[in-house]
Amino acid sequence: MPEAFTDTPLLSERFDAALHYATEHHRRQLRKGTPVPYAAHLLAVASLVLEMHAGEDEAIAALLHDVVEDGGGEPALEEIRARFGAPVADIVLANSDTVDVSQPKEGGAAWYARKRAYIDAFPHKSPAALRVSLADKLHNARAILLDYRTHGDELWARFRQGQGIATRIYYRELALAFEREQHRLGPHAAPFVGELRRVVDGITALAEERQGPDSRALFDG
């Protein structure tokens, strides 16, 4: 089949500028427990969003979705708003657990409260913000499943968790939340909602094989 082309490029110099901004911000950052540059995750999330037939603003937000939470805070959010526009900044904000970079990111009651608040906000998030979130969580879940198959339960040390139950609960809650909002995401995002469910169920099944059933399935039991 011959290559397809468009008369009007779907990605402009704004996307190029966002890619440079993102890679500069995350220059020294690696994926948890790996030697993989963090930029690999940002590129994967942007790719997944584009595969959902999203527009350039969502693709840019995908590249920038961790800038605020990973050290940039409120100043970075305002810079994103000025450089890339309010719609992009709003998507980034909706995909940030917090703009307070002084908070600990892993473990404890604060982590649980942030994750629960993130899930509870789903009905109020825009479809664009949800698609970026779906791409982010799907790529993370794929990585967790692959590394769990490879490294076993030592994987959970990356998350500062003994047996990983908190992470598994969170991803089960995410799968349910995206299923509840699927009707708002558009037909091209629906297959990715289904894939997230399959990956999350795969993580759960592997944990049951290695550890036995989790003591809780969801936040509330």
- Here the CATH number for the domain that contains residue 125 is 1.10.3210.10
Rounded-to-integer distance, Cα 168 and Cα 163, Å: 10
Q: For 10-26, what is each residue's pLDDT tens digit?
A: 899 999 999 999 999 99
Sequence letter at residue 116 = R
Residue 106, pLDDT above cutoff 70 = no
Does 7 reside within a domain?
A: no
Does 93 reside within a domain?
A: yes
Residue 120, pLDDT above cutoff 90 = yes
Does 78 reside within a domain?
A: yes
Tell me the pTM. Answer: 0.94
CA–chain centroid gap for 121, Å, is 15
Res 45: pLDDT: 98
Does 218 reside within a domain?
A: no
Residue 1, pLDDT above cutoff 70 = no
**What band does 132 get if pLDDT is binned at 50, 70 and 90?**
very high
Domain count along the chain:
1
**What band does 100 get if pLDDT is binned at 50, 70 and 90?**
confident
Which tokens sit at 124?
A: 């109020």
Q: Of 23-32, 103-112, 125-134, which range is least confident?
A: 103-112
Does 221 reside within a domain?
A: no
Does 3 reside within a domain?
A: no
Res 107: pLDDT: 62
Residue 178, pLDDT above cutoff 70 = yes
Does 219 reside within a domain?
A: no
DSSP the chain: -PPP--SS-SS-HHHHHHHHHHHHHTTT-B-TTSS-BTHHHHHHHHHHHHHTT--HHHHHHHHHTTTIIIIIHHHHHHHHHHHH-HHHHHHHHHT-S-S-TTS--SSHHHHHHHHHHHHHTGGGS-HHHHHHHHHHHHHHHHHHHHHHHHHGGGGGGGGT-SS-HHHHHHHHHHHHHHHHHGGGT-TTTHHHHHHHHHHHHHHHHHHHHHH-S-S-SSTT-
Does 217 reside within a domain?
A: no
Average pLDDT, the chain: 93
Res 71: pLDDT: 78
**What band does 214 get if pLDDT is binned at 50, 70 and 90?**
very high
Query: How many other β-carbons are positioned within 10 Å of the β-carbon of residue 144?
Result: 24
**What band does 99 get if pLDDT is binned at 50, 70 and 90?**
confident
**What band does 64 get if pLDDT is binned at 50, 70 and 90?**
very high
Rounded-to-integer distance, Cα 70 and Cα 54, Å: 24
Domain enclosing residue 198, as ranges: 13-211
